[in-house]
Amino acid sequence: MDSMTQSLTRYELSDLDRLAPPMMVKAFLLYELLQATELDRLITSLREGLRNAITQMPFMQGTVQIDETGRPYIQTSPDTSLELKVRHFSQTEHKSYSELVENSFAADDLHPTVLLPELPHGQQQVCMLQLNVVSGGLILGFAMHHAAGDWTSMDAFLTLLCRGTKANHHSLSMPIHKPDLDRTPFNAEATISSVSQEELLANCPGFSVIDSSVAASPTKPSLPPAVKTHIYRATESSIQNLKQKCTPIGVDYLSSYDCISALLWTSITRVRLLHQPEKRSSQSISANPINLRVRDPTNATSRDYFGNAILPSWVGPVDVQSLLADNGISTAASLIRTSINESSVDSIGHLTKLVRTLSPTERLGIPMDFHDMDLLMNSWYSGKAENYDVGIGSPFAFRTHRPNTGACCLILPNFSHSSSRIYEVFVQLPVEEHRSLQEDPQFSSCFELLN
């Protein structure tokens, strides 16, 4: 064994991690740059904050690899490192902070190809980081490979990085965070029984096995419609009014997430039918990934687990007419809550066993088309602005970017700047559906267009 092989370090990922799409999840934190800020000192503090974070999470400087069974893992070597790239923009090269504020930090003003480092050819980095200096402000660009972790993991690293930066900037003790890397709760049992893949599929309704080695149909697939991203905002009072309109059906209570998700699902279904009236007899599915860290009755894992602890769950298919009925929003919210209540760490055994049976060329498929009548819903509201203070105050806004995967709604981190909560929702839809959504009475009674 040569010295290079000996110096490689492998970090195992779980069976559940194999379900994560092979994409970089992106975040942009936007700070005002005050005249009193010593920029060079702040950059030094950011590098020290990054050094502290990497010391405690060394796998974040690695690359995602795939082994001979098709299972992903993270590998580090003496040649891999996570560096903070710093890029300065003139006023002719990028909009100023004041211009970004004026447009409420619109997605069209934040281009990931500009604000993030370029991926090395042939490599899948676990993480990328770039500080962008624009006139009057800073944009911290961050991206993490989804196979390495979910939003909670991403938030944990970002929080450690920012707190370490703030500590160094103010000559305080560096923060400590020990991630939980115990994959056991998210892996199939070490010895798989003689249960066949077909039997496991029967216990995982909705999932299918797709083999990429099988030749695809010669029919040329049609291109999905172009989509646009808008951010919509709701106040705490409008969300409370919404919750009063949502009556629990077969469940004890409905959360703010349930009601917001139901409002988006029913409203987007209604505007889709305006543009596709021929689908009035169709069905719709709402995908709602569930964080299993907080659905753990036997304490199998912990809140500090780093990885994908997300169950790919969904509600439906549901007849669209039931979503459009007078009690449609209550029906939708109650179905979402029922799905969440039925999920836990202890309920994923059949799914992880099914993943373990996949060959290197196989993957699991799900019965959804977000370009048609289905909707992907998620929430990052657990993130808090104060956790991302790098020593110059909390960032003013949080934005993200995702490829065209169809209809997607994401509740952004909690960036309320007062005692009253504010909810910002990232919505990706075709342009004409956005216009109709903004005119939808039920939706506009709760949400207003931010940008």
In this structure, the strands spanning 72-76 and 24-32 are unpaired
The pLDDT score that the predictor gives to residue 218 is 57
Torsion of Cα atoms, 256 then 153 then 26 then 170, to 10°: 100
Q: Tell me, what's the pLDDT at 55? A: 95
Residue 188 carries which side chain, given as an amino acid letter?
Answer: A
Q: Which of 42, 299, 30, 56 is nearest to 157 (CA)?
A: 56
Neighbours of 389 (CB within 10 A): 18
Specify the pLDDT at position 157: 97
Q: Which domains does the chain have, with CATH numbers?
A: 3-184 (3.30.559.10), 199-211+226-449 (3.30.559.10)
CA–CA separation, 155 vs 151, rounded Å?
A: 6
The C-alpha atoms of residue 51 and residue 55 are separated, in whole angstroms, by 6
Burial label, 81 (beta-carbon count in 10 A; 0-12, 13-18, 19+): exposed
Residue 396 CA, distance from chain mean position: 20
**pLDDT, position 199:** 87
Q: What is the pLDDT of residues 41-55, one digit of tens each?
A: 999 999 999 999 999
Helix (H) or strand (E) holding 197: helix 197-202
Cβ(131)–Cβ(171) below 8 Å? no
Cβ contact 343:255 at 8 Å: no
Longest dimension (CA), the chain: 70
Task: List the chain residues with pLDDT less than 50.
Answer: 1
